[in-house]
Amino acid sequence: MRVSVIIPTYNEAQAIGRVLADLPSDLVTEVIVVDSNSTDGTPDLARKMGAQVILEPRRGYGRACLTGLANTQNPDVVVFLDGDYSDRPSELPILLAPIIEGRADITMGSRLGTTRNSGALPWHAVFGNRLAASLIRLLYGVKISDLGPFRAGRADVLRALALEEATYGWAVEMILKGALAGFRIVEVPVSYYPRIGKSKISGTAKGTVGAAWFILSRIVRHSFRPRRTGTPRRRKS
């Protein structure tokens, strides 16, 4: 199975080396770091660690993920992972297991399913994630508890979803479109630690409010779209 890992970065020089070093080399086929004009040398550090680096001057977390996705080389599964070392890349086998075993098309790493490390997630982030997850369970029937960034999806499924959210809406678009299309979304517990460096979203009032608005509005808007009944058959390799 070919596994591509996409890591969006912006000034993550303190963490990117640890992130790349912890990726299980026996599972990962390619690593793509999509950098948004870092000024601290993040791209150079990533290249030295063997990652393919793509410079994406247009800001937006979703934009970086989409750019990385467009530059993958024929993967079977695509993994999205933050570059701040808050999620642990060594837990990649946990995230991939449901897909490898044929039980899932998309997997989500829940930061709320295990005991959290002190200071890893501020209270407003926990509240917002639980609220959004509750709405998704209610409106879409998808049993999730969190909108964590550590996630994976079959490449053919991600192509079929035609993802397009460039900013904060990225956090829910994959889940909402996947649910409407009848794909299997499975959540697995992952550990979560305080990020290295300052958060670009939950660390600022503007980022928190902006993320909340985009996420909640997308959840409501997509709920009015038609949905497919049944689960698509898994394509034979």
Average pLDDT over residues 129-154: 91
Where does the pLDDT of residue 233 fall: very low under 50, low under 70, confident under 90, or very high at 90 and above? Answer: very low
The domains of the chain are located at 3-222
Q: Which of 28-37, 129-138, 228-237 has the lowest mean pLDDT?
A: 228-237
Where does the pLDDT of residue 196 fall: very low under 50, low under 70, confident under 90, or very high at 90 and above? Answer: confident
Strand-by-strand arrangement of the 185-189 sheet: 52-55, 30-35, 3-9, 77-80, 151-154, 106-110, 185-189
Is the CATH number of domain 3-222 3.40.350.10?
A: no
With 60 as the cut, is the pLDDT of residue 205 above it?
no
Predicted local distance difference test score (pLDDT) of residue 10: 95
With 60 as the cut, is the pLDDT of residue 229 above it?
no
* Average per-residue pLDDT for the chain: 87
Classify residue 224 as exposed, middle or buried by CB count within 10 Å of its CB (0-12, 13-18, 19+): exposed
